[in-house]
Structure 1
Amino acid sequence: MSIRQVVRTLLLAVLLVGVPATATTQLRVDLSGLAVGADTVVHGVVRRVESRWSGDKMRILTDVEIQVTESLKGQPGSTVLVTQPGGRMGDIGQVVHGLASFTPGEEVVVFLQKRGPRAFRVSDMAQGKFQVKREGKTALAVPEPTESQLLDPVTRKPAASALQSMTLVELKAAIREALGEQTP
């Protein structure tokens, strides 16, 4: 191998190491799949978002406490604690692309997977969160935008999200229908 080839190989290696991997790929889910696959589905308000070091001090985790307004599936209690990888501690931040983001005071409907007796994670990353936006007397449920590359579960080809904005009443009715419950 010539000096020129060695230098080119080293330059290529340095360039590749410096490029962050930002793409997350996951299967697209529909509302019915979210509802059926979740252990718990809640409508509530985010009370607290707080990052912390993991027990081994190697990762940053973010805890999201949600005050439950209504449980649409499961019996979560009056609050749920959602833990996600990533967050910011001082000058150090860790990012996991494709996760839902939360803000204190935000009204949400979230589809959750159990991670312990009182701990949860959001089902299917950002796909498992709807933000509730109130405009007058209307409450609109808007799916969380995702940075993930979504793939059709059958063809495994890139696909757009199957989730759409709808009123909060329509979202709750669709969840109950997917779970085989009567809508009030």
Structure 2
Amino acid sequence: MSIRQLFRMGMVTVALLGALPAAATTQLRVDLSQLSRDSDAVIHGVVRRVESRWSGDGRRIVTDVEVEVKEPLKGQPGGTVLVTQPGGQVGDIGQVVHGLASFKTGEEVVIFLRKRGTQAFRLSGQAQGKYQVVREEAGKPAMAVPEPSEALLLDPVTRQPSTVVEKPRTLAELKAAIRAALTEPAP
């Protein structure tokens, strides 16, 4: 091959790579029915505490999110749940893990949880497992807004980038969809 041909092949490769979506995290898209069925617990609650700390081995940072349960939608999680996920900031040192949900104190949420040990949970489907409840004005229904994610979501069947995106819905519609998913037979 000539240098010119190698250069052209290199340019075509660069152009093709540039056309691919860039994402730090790739994960399978999970629909609401599967998320509901696969979770150990689903709750509607309020974030009471968000605190980052060093992991037990001192090698990484994790963030604990304590959520007061307003209504259990699946399981019996108790009055509060502790969600632990990688990443966070301790002092001047921070670790970022793309594709995870973010939380803030006082935030109202619906979260889908997987057990992690005897007391702690993690989010099912990473950021896909969190909806923020937004209450705008009196008389209007509360909205459940899916957590935006930087992750590239792949269709679980084709493994191609997914174009399906969860849309905001009323809190009542979200709860009804979760309950319906829990009563339908598993595929």
* Superposed CA offset, 1:67-121 (max 9, x none): 0000000000000000000000111000000000000000000000000111000
Q: Is the 8 A contact 1:131 1:142 kept in 2?
A: yes
Which whole-Å deviations, capped at 9, do the CAs of 1:149-184 have from their partners, x for residues lacking one? 000001000013442110000000000000008xxx
Counterpart for residue 158 of structure 1: 161
* Alpha-carbon spacing, 1:127–1:161, altered in 2? closer, same or farther (3 Å): farther
* 1:86 is aligned to 2:87: yes
Query: Could you list the runs of 5+ residues in structure 2 that have no partner in the other structure?
Result: 1-21
Q: Distance in 1 between matches of 2:153 and 2:163?
A: 7
Q: Does 2:165 match 1:141? A: no
TM-score normalized by structure 2?
0.84
What is the rounded CA distance, in whole Å, between the counterparts of 1:22 and 1:28 in structure 2? 14
1: CA distance, partners of 2:96 / 2:23: 9
RMSD of the alignment, in Å? 1.3
Calculate the TM-score normalised by the size of structure 1.
Answer: 0.85
CA contact (8 A) 1:151 1:158 kept: yes
Give the AA of the match of 2:155. Answer: D
Which residue identity is paired with 1:160? T
- Aligned-partner SS, 1:100: coil
The one-character-per-residue Cα deviations of 1:12-63 (angstroms, maximum 9, x if unpaired) are xxxxxxxxx9610000011001100100000000000000001111000000
- Runs of 4 or more consecutive aligned structure 1 residues displaced over 6 Å after TM superposition: none
Counterparts of 1:85 and 1:161, CA distance in 2: 27
- Structure 2 vs 1, CA of residues 93 and 161 (structure 1 numbering), >3 Å: closer, same or farther? farther
Measure, in 2, the Cα distance between the counterparts of 1:22 and 1:118.
32
Match of 1:62 in 2: 63
What percentage of residue pairs aligned between the two structures are identical?
70
Which whole-Å CA distance do the structure 1 matches of 2:164 and 2:82 have between them? 26
Distance 1:111 1:75, change over 3 A: same
Query: Residue 120 of structure 2 aligns to which amino acid in structure 1?
Result: A
Partner of 1:122: 123
Is the contact made by 1:150 and 1:161 (CA closer than 8 Å) also made in structure 2?
Answer: no
Query: 1:45, 1:68 within 8 Å by CA — same for their partners in 2?
Result: yes
Q: Counterpart of 2:34? A: 33
Q: Do 2:62 and 2:86's aligned partners in 1 also have CA atoms closer than 8 Å? A: yes
Distance 1:172 1:161 in 2: 20
Q: Does 1:170 align with 2:184?
A: no
Which residue is 2:75 aligned to? 74
